[in-house]
Structure 1
Amino acid sequence: GGLSRERVVRAGIKVADAEGLRALSMRRVAAEFGVSSMALYRHVANKDELVLLMADAAFAGVRLPEPAPTGWRERMEAGARLQWALYQRHPWLPQYLSISRPQPMPRAMALIEWTMARVEGVDPLTLIHMAVTLLNHVRATAAGFEDDLEAEQETGMDQGQWMAAMEPAFESILRSGAYPMYAGVDGAPGDAVTLDTIFEFGLARLLDGVGMLIERGK
């Protein structure tokens, strides 16, 4: 039915979602259409532009809740959870995003603006530091999604199977008595500490800290 930029971007997202960003190439995306990679260059300049378009399209899929939360904490929490759900749908996306070299993505920027829209009583520089710190907590934690996808492809074991295989080695280490912090956790540490628990714990502590800054500014 003919190629278009939109179709190429959708195909790139499909490949990256299933196989990870490392597997993405112009040739791999072209294979989805049964054409040569040269056919794609009529619609995207190169792989870098393709991935940027894919990321912006992924953020376009975020649906903001209506009515929006009115309190600053509820709004920031909602924005963080929207990002978390987005990264679960697209495990490659957090690995692509950069804090030190941010990409020009208006739709991602709009989500961050929405997330911070109810914070008052802090100066603009503090506000953007709050925003980037929250973004980085969600992004850095969610980077584990693609790590796990790639590890499963390499080992043939999902996260549960891998932890079960490692359990005897961990038990041997803990029996030495040299690691009381780990031994004090009920069950295997890998079961008690997951990407979800790290996200939830870190989000709550970050919002606690933001609350202290806001109160200090009053």
Structure 2
Amino acid sequence: MSSRADVVRAAVALADAEGLDAVTIGLLARRTGVSARSLYRHVSGRDELVTAMVDAVLAAPRPAPPTGGGWRALVEHEARQEWSLYRRHPWALRALATTRPPLGVGVLAAVDRYFAALDALDHQSALAAYLTVSGYVQGMAMLTAAEADATRDTGVTNPQWWSTHLAKLAGAVDSGRYPWLTTLAQSAATQPTNLDTWFDFGLARVLDGLATYTNK
């Protein structure tokens, strides 16, 4: 490969297709038809490669932040950008949902934007608020990442899996022992929802809580 950018793009494509665990110097060399030695001319190892991958996906064009709405609109904007990142690249969650994330320029800039939105709070409160919001985003993103892994590993999509298992649940639901689940199943049949809908609901409640805290 002729450049570091080429190596990073190939690694991102590999992670998108097969997950972060698939990204090794050896496999990347085999998939791209170049020697591992040539890849090492661009990155010193896997850790540097993953950091560069995260920086690359964080550098993708993003919508401009809102100009009105105060801190809440800005924090919501950053949370939705983080959610969108994990939806596009589920592997990025594995790289970022840790107390020791890759500290490239992309991560530093993303965290700084959160803190800029929370600048009305003292530093410790802003840190706690950031961890609360980003932690919620990452927690919900775990479901999307797990689904991507399961679909890739089994070849069975989520709707296909549920269509098979709902028949097994029908007997339990119809037994009358679980009245709340019976009502939920009936509602879901007429008002299907998805993770994005649940994410929207939860994010609004998290921001409601922060609003109460900031106004105390």
* Paired AA for residue 52 in structure 1: T
CA contact (8 A) 1:17 1:92 kept: yes
Q: Once the 2 structures are TM-superposed, how far is the Cα of residue 188 of structure 1 from its aligned partner?
A: 4.7
| Secondary structure in 2 matching 1:42 | coil
Provide the rounded CA distance (Å) in 2 between the counterparts of 1:164 and 1:74.
Answer: 38
CA 1:124–1:49: 2 relative to 1, 3 Å: same
Q: Which residue of 1 aligns with 2:110?
A: 111
Q: Once the 2 structures are TM-superposed, how far is the Cα of residue 167 of structure 1 from its aligned partner?
A: 1.0
Query: TM-score with structure 2 length normalisation?
Result: 0.88
Provide the rounded CA distance (Å) in 1 between the counterparts of 2:131 and 2:36.
Answer: 37
Q: Once the 2 structures are TM-superposed, how far is the Cα of residue 116 of structure 1 from its aligned partner?
A: 4.0
Q: Which residue of 1 aligns with 2:29?
A: 30
Q: Once the 2 structures are TM-superposed, how far is the Cα of residue 66 of structure 1 from its aligned partner?
A: 5.4
CA contact (8 A) 1:92 1:143 kept: no
Q: Once the 2 structures are TM-superposed, how far is the Cα of residue 123 of structure 1 from its aligned partner?
A: 1.9
Give per-residue Cα distances to partners, 1:30-84, cap 9 Å, x unaligned. Answer: 1342112232111111112211110121111152415544511111111111111
CA 1:120–1:14: 2 relative to 1, 3 Å: closer
Q: Which residue of 2 aligns with 1:19?
A: 18
Q: Which residue of 2 aligns with 1:3?
A: 2
CA 1:116–1:178: 2 relative to 1, 3 Å: farther
> More deviation in 177-186 or 196-205?
177-186
Q: Which residue of 2 aligns with 1:101?
A: 100
Q: Which residue of 2 aligns with 1:134?
A: 133
> More deviation in 36-45 or 71-80?
36-45
Q: RMSD across aligned C-alpha pairs, in angstroms? A: 2.2
The 5 Å alignment of 1:21-100 reads: 21-65=20-64, 68-100=67-99
CA 1:67–1:15: 2 relative to 1, 3 Å: same
Query: TM-score with structure 1 length normalisation?
Result: 0.87
The 5 Å alignment of 1:184-199 reads: 184-185=183-184, 186-188=186-188, 192=192, 194-199=194-199
Unmatched runs of 5 consecutive residues or more in structure 1:
none
Provide the rounded CA distance (Å) in 2 between the counterparts of 1:202 and 1:168.
Answer: 29
Provide the rounded CA distance (Å) in 2 between the counterparts of 1:140 and 1:168.
Answer: 29
Q: Is it true that 1:176 corresponds to 2:175 in the alignment?
A: yes
Provide the rounded CA distance (Å) in 2 between the counterparts of 1:143 and 1:81.
Answer: 15
CA 1:180–1:113: 2 relative to 1, 3 Å: farther
Q: Is it true that 1:153 corresponds to 2:116 in the alignment?
A: no
Q: Is it true that 1:211 corresponds to 2:211 in the alignment?
A: yes
Give per-residue Cα distances to partners, 1:137-191, cap 9 Å, x unaligned. Answer: 11221122231122112222111111111110121222233333322213458x8
Runs of 4+ in 1 over 4 A off after TM superposition: none
Provide the rounded CA distance (Å) in 2 between the counterparts of 1:134 and 1:56.
Answer: 21
Q: Which residue of 1 aligns with 2:202?
A: 202
Provide the rounded CA distance (Å) in 1 between the counterparts of 2:38 and 2:155.
Answer: 34
How many residue pairs get aligned? The number is 214
Provide the rounded CA distance (Å) in 2 between the counterparts of 1:110 and 1:135.
Answer: 14
> More deviation in 67-76 or 122-131?
67-76
> More deviation in 62-71 or 77-86?
62-71
Q: Once the 2 structures are TM-superposed, how far is the Cα of residue 27 of structure 1 from its aligned partner?
A: 2.2
CA 1:12–1:69: 2 relative to 1, 3 Å: farther
Q: Once the 2 structures are TM-superposed, how far is the Cα of residue 208 of structure 1 from its aligned partner?
A: 0.3
